[in-house]
Structure 1
Amino acid sequence: MSRLKDVARQANVSIATVSRVVNNAANIRDETRFRVQLAMKQLKYRPSRIAKRLRSKSSSGNLIGVMVPDISNPFYIDVLSGIEDYMYRQNFLIIICNFSQDEKKEQLYLDALVSESVDGLIVAPAHENDQKIISLIKENLPFVCIDRHLADTDADVVVVDNEQGAFNAVNFLLECGYNKIAYVSGLPRIPTSRQRENGYRMALENHKIPFRSELIKYGDSTHRSGIVLTEELLSQELIPDAIFTGNNLITLGALEAIAVRGLKIPDDIGLIGFDDMPWSNSLNPPLTAVKQPAYEIGRRAAELLYQRIIEPARPSVRIVLKTKLMIRKSTKSIPRKVKLN
């Protein structure tokens, strides 16, 4: 059975172009449309009926794709809620794909979504030089990036100020009297991981605390990496007196490793996580964390995508939302005056 990419190869066009021909889009040159239709006939290609079935149940017949790197991360669940709530009101259906931080899997899902003639995509790119996504944007497929940006690419994006959020967290730890603060990072190739490390370094520099490379551990943003890297920190010669974790899954792993050691928070070690979750306040002690407006990220991204679909030529928009440090009881003492920008 012929696939969309077979037609694209036969007609010497992109998959996105074939999808637009199948979807009877208006912005296709007659010569290109004819070449694609001829290839479809020669290859006996039949458009997917999945999208048609989905569209037949929608009053407007509109469909978008959403791709996230880790569906097990509660942050992305809230982002998806924001997207779904907004798009449902606009009579759009959503296909959700989880690529598990795997770029090959991401490319596979992108091809599948384009083959289903989605009207647009909301994606957290695998990294900032994601060529597959960049090529789709250049082909004028409506696109919005969330959580992570693309380098040197003119595209709509919704992110948070990761540097400032991390700076606020580490600055707070320093104001509390900690001076051997470790950072457990996610994947270094992800822009958010590097931005949070920049904030960590900026706070140390602000307090004239020397940077110690042995106090930074790089992982893969998972719960398991949080366990392993925290164990490494607690086993090395320079043991931290506080830990700043790069996301909520890493935080869970760090909590587990600290508990196995029999250490008490905050008496033996301080802890602040990036990402505030509903369970943060239910821990003993309640966890101080950097809160991201995840639902708002999703809602604003959906709004941008909808605007891009109805107005393809509008200028690109970059939205940077603020974080908030939720101060609870996972540090030894709370300073009377803490400057949080």
Structure 2
Amino acid sequence: MRKVTMRDVSRATGLSMFTVSKALNGGEGVSEESLKMILLAARELGYVPNRAAQELRRSSRDSVAVITADASNSYYLNLMSGIQHTLRPSNWTVVVGDVAVDGVYDPCLEDRMIKRLIESRMAGVISTLTLSPDNIRLLETWDIPIVFVDSAPVGENTYPSVTTDNFNASLLVGDHLAYHGYREWLFLIYPEKWTTRFERERGIREAARRHGAQLVVLESDNDTHSAYAKLGQYLEKTARLPDVLIAGNNPLLLGALKLLQDRRIAIPADMALMGYDEFDWAPLLNPPLTTLNEHSEEIGRRAAGLLVALIGEQTGPDNAAPSSASRREYQQQVPAELIVRQSCGCGLPALPKKKKES
């Protein structure tokens, strides 16, 4: 005869696994009505907790996974530093897997990785991009909590996440562009698979509206070569250079920098340049680059702390990761800071803009 599990109790009562787990393990926060329903169903079904298996589960899961989307993106360096520093005292092992090698997202690679993480008995996952709904459900089925950083799923379901306040970050960028009097803005941005796209674009559109600027949004695949090609195609068709180019992240920025160098477009004399992700060598460029500091190390620290808290709430082998609805308080946003350097035109004498060669 098959052993009755908490999942059976959950199905019988119609209550979430998280609620059932808390009730059967004496946790607080369960209503009296729900508690009575759960205890009655457990008794009628013949549920008996397996304490030995619970202890085995606690002792056997000592690793967490970080899923990245193009590990070459320097944004992840400081993010990983924050994660590692937070998890080190707990002796957790951190495993990193990339599902967008060179910025090219591979859904088959994501599927294989999720299955491998489950087989490896990961205690939890920090993901830097949205996963497919099927893979999210699969992790939940196997009681592996997820914390999203950078990009989080959009829609009715909410999941634990630590992200940048991208809308207000874009307003900071737009206000500074207006300070320079720039009226023609070109925003180079990545596909919607990376959901930071939505709030970054919404914010920059709102800033352009407020300041009466003309905004062109140019979408590129999320890699350096695509950014180089897409920007080159656009500039070939324009009668004149825009006042400023805003690069949506570091891979796109790198592609843009290579193109501007190849075409001998001077920054900021011919066109100003701003980037969305701060990186260690941004002040060493010529000219030094104006960027948004998203404080990715702080995001990593918060995400790791949140994941540890979620793991700590699990007490048995058939307990589930807390449901999305029960984790609405775990939606954290970190404000960005504009780091003003010379690529935007600050600190340099005004120079006449070079006309595009015919």
TM tier, shorter chain?
Answer: 0.7 to 0.9
CA gap 1:201/1:325 in 2 versus in 1, 3 angstroms:
same
CA gap 1:122/1:277 in 2 versus in 1, 3 angstroms:
same
From 120, 123, 126, the equivalent of 1:119 is 123
Aligned to 2:250: 248
* Helix, strand or coil at the partner of 2:257: helix
Amino acid at match of 2:144: L
In terms of mean alpha carbon deviation, does 306-315 or 101-110 score higher? 306-315
Q: Decide whether the 8 Å contact of 1:221 with 1:246 is kept in 2.
A: no
> Residues of 1 paired with 2:159 and 2:46: CA distance?
28
Identity of paired residues, percent?
A: 27
Displacement, 1:67? 0.7
Q: Does 1:147 align with 2:160?
A: no
Aligned to 1:321: 334
Q: Decide whether the 8 Å contact of 1:222 with 1:250 is kept in 2.
A: yes
Q: Decide whether the 8 Å contact of 1:137 with 1:155 is kept in 2.
A: no
* Helix, strand or coil at the partner of 1:96: strand
> Residues of 2 paired with 1:332 and 1:77: CA distance?
28
Where does structure 2 lack aligned partners over 5 or more consecutive residues? 1-6, 8-23, 26-44, 51-55, 315-321, 349-358
From 175, 181, 191, the equivalent of 1:187 is 191
Displacement, 1:210? 4.3
Aligned to 2:86: 86
Aligned to 2:35: none
**Within 5 Å, which residues of 2 pair with 1:253-272?**
253-272=255-274
* Helix, strand or coil at the partner of 1:234: helix
Aligned to 2:238: 237
Q: Decide whether the 8 Å contact of 1:231 with 1:257 is kept in 2.
A: yes
CA gap 1:208/1:309 in 2 versus in 1, 3 angstroms:
same
CA gap 1:126/1:175 in 2 versus in 1, 3 angstroms:
same
Displacement, 1:95? 1.4
> Residues of 2 paired with 1:30 and 1:192: CA distance?
47
Q: Decide whether the 8 Å contact of 1:182 with 1:242 is kept in 2.
A: yes
CA gap 1:198/1:134 in 2 versus in 1, 3 angstroms:
farther
Aligned to 2:304: 302
From 162, 169, 173, the equivalent of 2:173 is 169
> Residues of 1 paired with 2:119 and 2:159: CA distance?
22
Q: Decide whether the 8 Å contact of 2:283 with 2:289 is kept in 1.
A: yes
* Helix, strand or coil at the partner of 1:183: strand
Displacement, 1:118? 0.9
Displacement, 1:31? 8.7
| TM value normalised by structure 2 | 0.73
Aligned-residue CA RMSD in angstroms? Answer: 3.0
Displacement, 1:287? 0.4
Amino acid at match of 2:126: I
> Residues of 2 paired with 1:272 and 1:30: CA distance?
63
Runs of 4+ in 1 over 3 A off after TM superposition: 29-34, 137-140, 312-315
Q: How many aligned residue pairs are there?
A: 286
Amino acid at match of 1:88: R
